[in-house]
């Protein structure tokens, strides 16, 4: 019979027949599963009705995993690996459909003294001998304990044996049972009774020990805290967790939710027969009925243990409201925004309220003064929020949350807009020769609606160079970037003009004039003598030529100091131009607003070759 469906039964001849209507009709769901023998054992897996193992007298074991398909079920011969002896019983594991056990009749002979019990854990693909130290006698029945892991009971020709470790060791279950042939064994799980049917000596019952397992028990399933003022904690109520089982109870977690809190004396494990206490308190956070739960997660089976928690507010609607004005403030980095917080009690609320501020941008501070407001039950009270942004605060829109906490907590929000701008250059560097001009384009990008006039300046230009920004001021509009041009003009180098010569100081000009005329006369005489002498006296011609050269040289020596007049100037100086090298220039945008000034800068690189 199918353990999961009493109307589905099976019987075997050389094939398997199935009924699904309590034997009103039968259908063959297998071919011939024997080699000439008869089917003597059928096992339906308790955890999967589609898995059926069958064994025949001619040492064959077959399995199907789709018995629900009826006549279309597919069967597989899984006999390989089993001894060639008659199979008396096949049993499926209660929890694992791929695990099954086979019992063999006869005596081992050449197979050794213990080849009477085999196990498969993979649906019959392989078999393992688990006979261990069993006597060399036929085994007629196998029972798998569903509550004790790895515990098996077998019926043999000399009594009942059991193993607590999956066949590693076998022990005789005597306990008054005579040493006779035991034909069958049945375990009644609910009463933990093992019944043995013997050959000629009647039936015998054995009470098996209960499986080791924890059993969690709670002292109550509900706690009601009645009326309690909002924000005030109740007297603790206790829940006792006991372990009524025979194994330690492992606790994974203990938690409460809603307006309820818990503390406990429980450790990770509660011994059998021991207990621990869980204390629960109620602190309502709002008016009206409140509910929650206490949950204990453990390994006791049946899921987590739960206690339902309830309570009510006794404050008769006492509460307060909180608001912030103005709803929005706009600043630039480095400036401060001021808000007013108003707290108004309702229905006679008379508890002090602590104020807090969150959501301020990075680099900003939020200060509330005073930080706590006392309530008289009727009149509103106010506090001032000063939010100081820093020079590094990023432009954008931020939501500030102002909280008021007393017996209850309420919040209000306001908006802070930080307007800013940034500068970027394209290109960021230039390489030019002295005398050339470098041009950069600067993008002025506004943030959060920035629309103030930005004035520009440029510093760091090298010697002999100028840096100009055009336009010198602009006002961004909208969200698009605006453009300005930075021009750096360098100077080329130039050579110096030689200085003029002058008449030595104290020299009489009349003497200078006489010597000049004398030299000219001497040069003229020498030239005439040279012409005449070449005709009549060649040697005299050579003398005349030398005299002419000497007179010309004397004249040149006197004339040269006179060049440039009598002032004795030093000539024009050289222009070195812009020195070669690498330079960093800084373009700064400045915005003046009240007593503060916002500046943003960008670095430009210039290389002069």
Could you report the per-residue pLDDT of 291-331, keeping only the tens digit for each?
999 999 999 888 899 999 999 876 656 789 999 999 999 99
Q: What is the DSSP string of 115-165?
A: TTEEEESSTTSS-EE--TT--SS-EEEEEE-SSSTT-EEEEETTEEEEESS
From 56, 64, 61, select the one nearest 98 (Cα to Cα).
64
**pLDDT of res. 8:** 95
**pLDDT of res. 346:** 86
Asked if residue 287 has pLDDT above 90, the reply is: no
**Residue range 515-523: average pLDDT?**
57
**Which of the four pLDDT bands, split at 50, 70 and 90, describes residue 258?**
very high
Using CA atoms, how far apart are residues 473 and 454, in angstroms rounded to an integer?
5
**pLDDT of res. 534:** 47
Asked if residue 553 has pLDDT above 70, the reply is: no
Count the Cβ atoms, other than its own, within 10 Å of residue 107.
Answer: 13
Mean pLDDT for all residues in the chain? 87
Query: In this predicted structure, which of 29-33, 208-212, 413-417 has the lowest mean pLDDT?
Result: 208-212
**pLDDT of res. 188:** 92
**Which of the four pLDDT bands, split at 50, 70 and 90, describes residue 235?**
very high
**Which of the four pLDDT bands, split at 50, 70 and 90, describes residue 530?**
very low
pLDDT digits (tens, 9 = 90+) for 554-582: 555 554 444 444 444 444 567 889 999 99
Using CA atoms, how far apart are residues 210 and 193, in angstroms rounded to an integer?
10
Using CA atoms, how far apart are residues 184 and 205, in angstroms rounded to an integer?
12
Secondary-structure percent of the chain, ordered helix, strand, coil, rounded to 5: 10, 45, 45
What is the dihedral angle through the alpha carbons of 88, 93, 99, 102, rounded to the nearest 10 degrees? -10
**pLDDT of res. 565:** 43
Between 530 and 255, residue with greater pLDDT: 255
**Which of the four pLDDT bands, split at 50, 70 and 90, describes residue 408?**
confident
**Which of the four pLDDT bands, split at 50, 70 and 90, describes residue 211?**
confident
**pLDDT of res. 528:** 53
pLDDT digits (tens, 9 = 90+) for 422-472: 999 999 999 999 999 999 999 999 999 999 999 999 999 999 999 999 999
CB contact set of 129 (below 8 Å; sequence gap of 6+): 114, 115, 117, 118
**Which of the four pLDDT bands, split at 50, 70 and 90, describes residue 531?**
very low
Asked if residue 105 has pLDDT above 50, the reply is: yes
Task: State the number of CA atoms in the 13 A half-sphere of 519 facing the CB.
Answer: 17
Task: Report yes or no on whether pTM surpasses 0.95.
Answer: no
Query: In this predicted structure, which of 192-196, 266-270, 516-520, 569-573 has the lowest mean pLDDT?
Result: 569-573
**pLDDT of res. 525:** 52
Query: In this predicted structure, which of 78-82, 500-504, 594-598 has the lowest mean pLDDT?
Result: 500-504
Using CA atoms, how far apart are residues 89 and 152, in angstroms rounded to an integer?
14
What is the dihedral angle through the alpha carbons of 330, 336, 338, 341, rounded to the nearest 10 degrees? 100
Q: Is the dihedral of CA 323, 326, 327, 328 positive or negative?
A: negative
**pLDDT of res. 537:** 46
Phi-psi domain of 98 (left: phi exceeds 0; alpha: psi -120 through 50; beta: other): alpha
Task: State the number of CA atoms in the 13 A half-sphere of 164 facing the CB.
Answer: 7
CB 34 within 8 A of CB 42: no
CB contact set of 589 (below 8 Å; sequence gap of 6+): 421, 423, 444, 454, 455, 456, 599, 600, 601
Asked if residue 127 has pLDDT above 80, the reply is: yes
């Amino acid at each position: 019979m199918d353990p999961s469906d009493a109307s589905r039964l099976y019987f075997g001849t050389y094939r398997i027949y199935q009924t699904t209507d309590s034997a009103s009709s039968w259908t063959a769901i297998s071919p011939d599963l024997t080699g000439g023998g008869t089917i003597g054992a059928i096992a339906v897996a308790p955890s999967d009705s589609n898995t059926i193992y069958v064994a025949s007298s001619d040492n064959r074991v077959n399995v199907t995993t789709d018995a629900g398909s009826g006549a279309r079920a597919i069967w597989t011969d899984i006999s390989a690996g089993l001894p060639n002896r008659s199979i008396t019983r096949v049993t499926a594991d209660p929890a694992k459909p791929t695990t099954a056990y086979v019992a063999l009749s006869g005596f081992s002979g050449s197979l050794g003294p213990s080849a009477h019990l085999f196990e498969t854990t993979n649906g019959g693909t392989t078999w393992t001998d688990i006979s261990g130290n069993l006597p060399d006698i036929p085994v007629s029945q196998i029972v798998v304990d569903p509550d004790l892991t790895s515990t098996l009971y077998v019926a043999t020709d000399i009594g009942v044996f059991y193993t607590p470790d999956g066949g590693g060791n076998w022990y005789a279950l005597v306990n008054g049972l005579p040493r006779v042939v035991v034909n069958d064994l049945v375990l009644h799980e609910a009463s933990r009774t093992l019944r043995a049917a013997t050959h000629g000596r009647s039936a015998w019952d054995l009470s098996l020990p209960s499986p080791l397992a924890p059993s969690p028990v709670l002292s109550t399933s509900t706690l009601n805290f009645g009326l309690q003022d909002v924000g005030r904690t109740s007297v603790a109520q206790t829940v006792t967790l006991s372990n009524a089982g025979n194994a330690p109870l492992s606790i994974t977690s203990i938690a409460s939710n809603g307006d309820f809190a818990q503390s406990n004396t429980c450790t990770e494990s509660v011994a059998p027969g021991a207990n621990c206490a869980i204390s629960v308190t109620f602190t309502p956070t709002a008016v009206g009925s409140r509910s929650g739960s206490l949950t204990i997660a453990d390994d006791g089976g049946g899921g987590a243990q739960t206690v339902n928690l309830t309570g009510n507010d006794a404050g008769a609607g006492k509460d307060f409201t909180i608001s912030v004005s103005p709803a929005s403030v706009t600043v630039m980095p480095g400036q401060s925004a001021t808000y007013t917080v108003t707290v108004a009690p309702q229905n006679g609320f008379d508890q002090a309220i602590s104020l807090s501020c969150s959501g301020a941008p990075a680099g900003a501070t939020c200060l509330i003064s005073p930080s706590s407001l006392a309530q008289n039950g009727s009149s509103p009270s106010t506090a001032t929020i000063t939010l100081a942004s820093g020079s590094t605060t990023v432009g954008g829109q931020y939501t500030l949350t102002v909280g008021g906490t007393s017996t209850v907590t309420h919040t209000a929000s306001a908006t802070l807009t930080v307007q800013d701008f940034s500068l970027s250059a394209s290109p960021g560097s230039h390489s030019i020769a002295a005398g050339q001009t470098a041009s950069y384009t600067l993008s002025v990008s506004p943030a959060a609606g920035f629309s103030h006039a930005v004035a520009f300046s440029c510093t760091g230009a090298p010697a002999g160079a100028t840096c100009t920004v055009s336009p010198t001021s602009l006002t961004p509009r909208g969200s698009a970037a605006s453009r300005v041009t930075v021009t750096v003009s360098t100077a080329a180098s130039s050579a110096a003009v030689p200085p003029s010569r002058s008449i030595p100081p104290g020299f009489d000009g009349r003497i200078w004039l006489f010597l000049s005329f004398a030299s000219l006369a001497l040069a003229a005489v020498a030239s005439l003598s040279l012409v005449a002498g070449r005709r009549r006296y060649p040697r005299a011609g050579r003398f005349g030529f030398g005299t002419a050269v000497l007179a010309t040289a004397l004249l040149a020596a006197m004339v040269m100091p006179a060049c440039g007049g009598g002032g004795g100037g030093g000539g024009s100086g050289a222009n070195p131009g812009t020195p070669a090298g690498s330079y960093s220039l800084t373009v700064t945008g400045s915005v003046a607003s009240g007593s503060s000034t916002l500046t943003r800068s960008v670095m430009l690189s210039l290389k002069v070759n």
